[in-house]
Amino acid sequence: MVLFRKMPVYLPGMKAKHVVLISIDGLNAKDLYLMKELSYFSEMIRRGSVAREMVGVYPSLTYPSHVSIITGVYPNKHGITDNKPFAATCQETPWFFYAKDIAVPALYDVAIKKGLSTGSFFWPVTAGANIHYNCPPIWPTSQGESQIALSLRNGSPGFLLELERRFNWLRHGRQYPQLDNFTAVSAAYLLKKYQPNLLLVAFSELDHERHEYGRNSKQAEYSLVRTNERVGLIIEAAKDAEIYNDTAFVIVGDHGFLDYNKCTALNRIFLDNGYLTADDQGEVLDYLAFAQAAGGSAQIYLQNKTDQKIFHDISLLLKSLKDSGESGIAEIYTAQQTMSKGLSGDFSFVVEAEQGYCFTSSINSPPVTAVQRGSKAATHGYDPEKSDYQSLAIFSGSGIKMGAELPSINCVDIAPTLSQLLDLNLQNCDGKILTQMLTGN
């Protein structure tokens, strides 16, 4: 972990001396219509180029997606295959907080090696990362853990204390919209004062609102309006620091969203069929098969992967559920089949939900539950190729062509493209450099 201050470095081959990568969690391709009407988003679009759709990764969850965006490879290579490591439990467990779990170099690692300065605000899987100004997303998941101690131990202590003194009044724990307001003000402060060559910023309120109220809800629309103002704070900071004309701003989403009205509890079905045992509180005692739900998909783990009888039995059970037309299972993949989707892991199956359905890891729920709108009304985690489910990307500023438009890109194209802007050499990417977006090509 980098614990010292670092000023920017300028290399002769840079197309942009500064790159600000802003993720808006849950941003959908159709949000572009509203973004064109909002002040700072429209300013970026006028000065730059747009990818109208951006295809994500499988499962289309926040943590695997963000790691693919910043590494340029799919989950089967970087190793973050879910928001959380597998645990056969319905209790709260640690997420993939730590950068050490990423199996390949990230863009910030390559930037550090080249001598560039780096900053990050709440970018997933950056706890303990080699970043000069690091405010990672990490929180207590067991009794007795201290939020302050976790953050200081896994971020940049001096810088975090500096932010705490200045902007603590903006936060209210992890609640929205306060957390995104704190993120915006803090990121603007960092950009103006320390001017890192690479700055990562992750906003999450839009994702929260869509989960709670639905993909096309007014609450989601209002959140996007607020996010425009937050982006504006960062843009204005670049102007105040007189680095605006030397900065490339890139906005990306991480996954789409789909509304649902039914939720399938695969673990309850496993319980009812004798493949899992649990206590009265719904905690797992033992299992032969366990489903780790990922919203629009679920990964099925077998306690003994080499037990061919259990593999066969679970395969038949899943097929019968799909054929019934009542479980919401659209597709069943073996672990070997998911390799073609850029996903690998210790699971034996992955099931994809039908539109209108999602999965839960719950054991106490009925096998299929009708969900009332207003409570977890939309979700993600589905196959990123699903219709009307893509995100988007906007490129603007230094080194970016004006007026270019691509119909579709992949999220793994972002890191190699930013690497090119900063004159870095991020190798072995699954994605490609989007030369159509860059000047001089």
pLDDT at 115: 94
Q: Are 60 and 382 in contact (CB under 8 A)?
A: yes
Q: What is the pLDDT of residues 135-157, one digit of tens each?
A: 999 998 888 888 889 999 999 99
pLDDT average, residue stretch 231-237: 98
Helices 178-193 and 157-167: angle between axes, nearest 10 degrees: 120
- pLDDT exceeds cutoff 70 at 439: yes
Which string of b and e fits 290-301 if b means at least 16 CB within 10 Å? bbbbbbbbbbbb
| Maximal C-alpha separation, the chain | 66
Identify the pLDDT of residue 8: 86
Average pLDDT, stretch 409-422? 98
Q: What is the pLDDT of residue 441?
A: 67
Number of H helices, E strands in the chain: 14, 19
Q: CB within 8 A of 249, min separation 6: which ones?
A: 20, 22, 44, 48, 234, 235, 238, 394, 395, 396, 397
Please, what's the b/e burial string for 22-40 (b: 16 or more CB within 10 A of its CB; e: otherwise)? bbbbbbbbbbbeebeebeb
Query: From CA 418, how far away is CA 412, in angstroms rounded?
Result: 11
54: helix, strand or coil: strand
Residues 253-280: what's their mean pLDDT?
96
**Residues 116-128 pLDDT 10s:** 999 999 999 999 9
Neighbouring C-beta atoms of residue 305, cutoff 10 Å: 13
In 253-348, the DSSP E strands lie at 258-265, 276-278, 284-287, 289-293, 297-302, 329-334
Say what the pLDDT of residue 372 is.
72
Question: Is the pLDDT score of 192 beyond 90?
Answer: yes
Instruction: Give the global pTM.
Output: 0.96
CATH class of 259-379: alpha beta
What pLDDT, on a 0 to 100 scale, did the predictor assign at position 146? 87
Please report, to the nearest 10 degrees, the dihedral formed by the alpha carbons of residues 234, 236, 242, 244 taken in order.
Answer: 70
Q: Which of 433, 421, 379, 438 is nearest to 25 (CA)?
A: 379
Asked whether 394 and 40 are in contact (CB, 8 A), the reply is no
Q: How many residues does the chain have?
A: 441
Q: Has residue 290 got a pLDDT over 80?
A: yes
Q: What is the dihedral of CA 110, 112, 114, 115, to 10 degrees?
A: 170
pLDDT for res 376: 58
Lowest model confidence (mean pLDDT) among 21-25, 142-146, 313-317: 142-146
Position 6 scores a pLDDT of 74
* Residue 280 pLDDT > 90: no
Least confident among 4-8, 108-112, 168-172: 4-8
Q: Where are the domains of the chain?
A: 18-256+386-437, 259-379
Average pLDDT of the chain?
95
For residue 371, what pLDDT band results from cuts at 50, 70 and 90? confident
Q: Which of 79, 87, 180, 73 is nearest to 125 (CA)?
A: 79
Find the DSSP H helices in 37-177: 39-46, 62-71, 75-78, 107-113, 147-154, 157-167
Q: What is the pLDDT of residue 200?
A: 98
Q: How confident is the model at residue 3 (pLDDT cuts 50, 70, 90)?
A: very low
pLDDT in tens, 45-68: 999 999 999 999 999 999 999 999
Distance CA(163)–CA(171), nearest Å, equals: 11
Q: What percent of the chain has pLDDT over 90?
A: 89
18-256+386-437: which CATH topology? Alkaline Phosphatase, subunit A (3.40.720)
Residue 21 has pLDDT above 80, yes or no: yes
How many Å apart are CA 159 and CA 6, to the nearest integer? 11
